């Protein structure tokens, strides 16, 4: 009997939909409610009294470290307190860290919580203010997780930053790699998102509980404008939600000592994390994710499972390309996919900036409690398909102890992959590697982002001129693989002409 195997013993989730003037909770208040919900879930009314480790997922619109105020709200005094930088990978990463510490005997009871309150009558979300605050946060030593900026100055100069612009680059590269037409891609994406909406319809915690038809999702209308080709608004995550989730991780012996019933225990079978080559310009290609592939292989080996032994998945779904690329990398048949979410995914369940995966883990715990023979696989993603985490969960205690030293060198494997050289001032013929067209608030095509390869194999970034005819053509004709002439920009981005 392994006495210190990490188990999740309690989960709590809050979805606060009402815009009530006198009930306008802060993220910390929502986090408090989620943590307190854990008590009812596990039946141990004094569980929080034993918490000796508190990990808080970045709350996005709270710029100060909330761990102290949250401890005051919960009347707890853990010796270890940590607050993450931004990233949808962080909840699963925190679970993996807590499991390590519990297995090593360094802590006994870990509370992990995250919350965001972006849906409000009285608060206005200001992107610039938030980004400025995050810049300052990256200099604070108490923040855990990579605080490196997600884009280079050269990428910024070509508008190659921001999730709504970057994930379409992956999607268009994926389309060309699979040999799909633009219409076939639109149909496939629409069906994928429609399936998410059906799952969310049956989930009382989902933010949007309306089953949408695939045609409604794929058709560009005034209410469903194109954001960045090929993603319509309904294919994007919605961040303006009030949601919180918390979980409590402990060891089997501590859970037994606290008289938490074994039917509440869900075992961590394995967990891993990895980072892709950091900058978009450094990626090996734009249609795959070596980090997900290597990370998943090692996690499956640690769990002693094959992909055929996984009963359900929740693959991070900030944008379709994130989940669909991951599905391919973990070994699923992309032409005959199972459900890739148990919540309804970020476009339908809710797309909080950092804490979605905590909800996916909580849902997994509830599902495994109902079916202890099942196993589930959850992934998290941060930045631009950059930071990854994975967890595999089950209802039966594994034979081997939790020991992640068996995973081997994951990051070294990825870092050792060859990247193409980047040419900052290109001149000559170039072949389009991937691209997207960004639309304005009125739904009109505004500008493009193009990644191309020169004849000598060097990669370069460019934009077309703001020619509406060219931009429309880029959404109706395949431009991946098309040749153009690229030249150095004059006081602006490089330009490509077709």
Model confidence at 21, in pLDDT bands (50, 70, 90)? low
Contact (CB, 8 A) for 258 and 230:
no
Are residues 378 and 450 located together in one domain of the fold?
no
| pLDDT, tens only, 171-191 | 999 999 999 999 999 999 999
The answer on pLDDT for 242 being more than 80 is yes
Are residues 449 and 369 located together in one domain of the fold?
no
- The pLDDT score that the predictor gives to residue 459 is 98
- The pLDDT score that the predictor gives to residue 104 is 95
Count of CB atoms situated within 10 Å of the CB of 44: 21
Are residues 335 and 457 located together in one domain of the fold?
no
Nearest Cα to Cα of residue 326 among 479, 167, 448, 449: 167
CATH number at residue 467: 2.40.50.840
The answer on pLDDT for 311 being more than 90 is yes
Are residues 363 and 457 located together in one domain of the fold?
no
Average pLDDT over residues 246-258: 97
Are residues 290 and 374 located together in one domain of the fold?
yes
Cα dihedral: 16, 20, 24, 27 (round 10)? 10
Are residues 19 and 125 located together in one domain of the fold?
yes
Are residues 35 and 118 located together in one domain of the fold?
yes
| Percent of the chain residues past pLDDT 70, beyond the cut | 93
Pairing of strands 143-144, 226-228: unpaired
The answer to whether position 261 is within a domain reads: yes
Cα dihedral: 464, 387, 327, 210 (round 10)? -80
Contact (CB, 8 A) for 421 and 457:
yes
The answer to whether position 373 is within a domain reads: yes
Count of CB atoms situated within 10 Å of the CB of 204: 7
The answer to whether position 488 is within a domain reads: yes
CATH number at residue 353: 3.40.47.10
The answer to whether position 201 is within a domain reads: no
**Final residue before a domain boundary, out of 389, 415, 441:** 415
pTM of the model: 0.95
Number of domains, the chain: 2
The answer on pLDDT for 123 being more than 60 is no
| Percent of the chain residues past pLDDT 90, beyond the cut | 85
Model confidence at 287, in pLDDT bands (50, 70, 90)? very high
**Final residue before a domain boundary, out of 391, 415, 439:** 415
Query: What is the rounded CA–CA span in Å between residue 313 and residue 361?
Result: 10
| DSSP character string of 33-76 | HHHHHHHHHHT-TTGGGG--EEEE---SS--S--HHHHHHHHT-
The answer to whether position 463 is within a domain reads: yes
The answer on pLDDT for 2 being more than 80 is no
Are residues 408 and 265 located together in one domain of the fold?
yes
- The pLDDT score that the predictor gives to residue 5 is 95
Are residues 411 and 432 located together in one domain of the fold?
no
The answer to whether position 206 is within a domain reads: no
Buried b / exposed e along 257-266 (16+ C-beta atoms within 10 A): ebebeeebbb
- The pLDDT score that the predictor gives to residue 439 is 97
User: How big, in percent rounded to 5, are the helix, strand and coil portions of the chain?
Assistant: 35, 20, 40
Average pLDDT over residues 398-425: 92
- The pLDDT score that the predictor gives to residue 174 is 98
The answer to whether position 95 is within a domain reads: yes
Are residues 405 and 445 located together in one domain of the fold?
no
**Final residue before a domain boundary, out of 365, 385, 415:** 415
Are residues 362 and 453 located together in one domain of the fold?
no
Query: What is the rounded CA–CA span in Å between residue 438 and residue 447?
Result: 6
Q: Residue 443 burial by CB count (10 A; 0-12/13-18/19+): exposed, middle or buried?
A: middle
Query: What mean pLDDT value characterizes the chain?
Result: 93
Residues 6+ apart with CB under 8 A from 339: 195, 199, 312, 313
Are residues 273 and 138 located together in one domain of the fold?
yes
The alpha carbon dihedral of 470, 473, 479, 483 has a sign of negative
Structural domain containing residue 435: 428-497
Query: What is the rounded CA–CA span in Å between residue 212 and residue 318?
Result: 18
Query: What is the rounded CA–CA span in Å between residue 412 and residue 454?
Result: 29
The answer to whether position 166 is within a domain reads: no
Quote the tokens at residue 306: 């094959």
- The pLDDT score that the predictor gives to residue 101 is 97
């Amino acid at each position: 009997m392994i006495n210190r195997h990490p188990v999740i013993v309690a989960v709590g989730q809050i979805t606060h939909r009402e815009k009530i003037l006198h009930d306008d909770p802060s993220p910390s208040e929502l986090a408090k409610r989620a943590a307190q919900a854990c008590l009812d879930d596990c039946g141990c009314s004094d569980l929080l009294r034993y918490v000796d480790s508190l990990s808080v997922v970045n709350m996005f619109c709270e710029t100060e470290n909330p761990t102290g105020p949250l401890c005051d709200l919960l009347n707890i005094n853990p010796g270890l307190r940590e607050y993450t930088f931004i990233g949808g990978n962080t909840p699963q990463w925190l679970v993996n860290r807590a499991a390590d510490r519990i297995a090593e005997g360094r802590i006994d009871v870990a509370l992990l919580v995250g919350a965001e309150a972006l849906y409000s009558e009285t608060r206005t979300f200001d992107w610039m203010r938030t980004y400025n605050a995050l810049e300052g946060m990256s200099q604070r030593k108490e923040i855990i997780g990579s605080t490196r900026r997600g884009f280079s100055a050269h990428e910024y100069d070509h508008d190659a930053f921001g999730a709504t612009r970057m994930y379409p680059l992956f999607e268009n590269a994926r389309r060309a790699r699979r040999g799909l037409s633009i219409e076939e891609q639109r149909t496939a994406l629409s069906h994928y998102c429609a399936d998410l909406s059906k799952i969310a319809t049956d989930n009382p915690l989902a933010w949007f509980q309306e089953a949408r038809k695939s045609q409604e999702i794929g058709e560009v209308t005034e209410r469903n404008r194109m954001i960045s080709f090929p993603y319509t608004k309904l294919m994007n995550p919605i961040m303006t939600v009030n949601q919180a989730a918390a979980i409590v991780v402990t060891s089997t012996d501590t859970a037994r000592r606290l008289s938490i019933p074994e039917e509440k225990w869900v075992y961590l079978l394995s967990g891993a994390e990895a980072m892709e080559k950091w900058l978009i310009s450094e990626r090996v290609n734009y249609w795959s994710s070596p980090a997900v592939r290597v990370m998943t292989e090692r996690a499956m080996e640690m769990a002693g499972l094959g992909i055929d032994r996984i009963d359900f998945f929740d693959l991070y779904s900030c944008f379709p390309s994130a989940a669909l690329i991951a599905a391919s990398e973990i070994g699923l048949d992309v032409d005959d996919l199972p459900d890739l979410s148990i919540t309804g995914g970020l476009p339908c369940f809710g797309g909080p900036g950092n804490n979605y995966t905590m909800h996916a883990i909580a849902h997994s715990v509830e599902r495994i409690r109902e079916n202890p023979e099942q196993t589930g696989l959850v992934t998290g993603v941060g930045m631009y398909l950059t930071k990854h985490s994975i967890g595999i969960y089950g209802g039966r205690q594994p034979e081997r102890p939790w020991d992640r030293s068996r995973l081997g060198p994951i990051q070294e494997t990825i870092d050792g992959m060859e990247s193409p050289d980047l040419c900052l001032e290109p001149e000559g013929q170039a072949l389009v590697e991937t691209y997207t067209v960004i639309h304005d608030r009125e739904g009109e095509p505004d500008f493009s982002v193009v990644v191309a390869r020169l004849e000598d194999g060097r990669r370069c970034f460019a934009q077309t001129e703001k020619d509406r005819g060219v931009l429309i053509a880029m959404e109706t004709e395949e431009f991946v693989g098309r040749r153009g002439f690229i030249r150095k920009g004059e006081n602006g981005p490089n330009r490509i002409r077709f």
